[in-house]
Structure 1
Amino acid sequence: MVKSEATKEMPRLELEGVQENLKDSDYWEIKRFRESFDQDEMGFYGRKEGI
């Protein structure tokens, strides 16, 4: 699982919960969620997967 700088400290179970909540979200809910993060912290963290 690829994490961002904003989620690198988030436990895997909590991150999976966030993903589950967003799975059925509409465009505007996802847009608000993305905008809630600091853009400077959205870089990837850790090793690359699936690239």
Structure 2
Amino acid sequence: MFPQMKSRSTFVRQAANLRQYKQELQQVLAHTVCVWLNRLFGLEPLQFDSLVTE
């Protein structure tokens, strides 16, 4: 009766998965950049607070 309903739900699921992957990639990239900046400034790699306060 509604042939497009299955493909529509697949599209919505794929869009949600893509959004989740994008968020995970942004988190990994932000972490990597912060570690790189800390090493550049001669700080410990995981001292992210010092990047904000200085």
Q: TM-score over 0.5 for the alignment?
A: no
* Structure ranking higher in helix proportion: 2
Larger RCO: Structure 1 or Structure 2 (Cα < 8 Å, ≥ 6 residues apart)?
A: 1
Which entry has the higher C-alpha Rg, 1 or 2? 2
More strand by share: 1
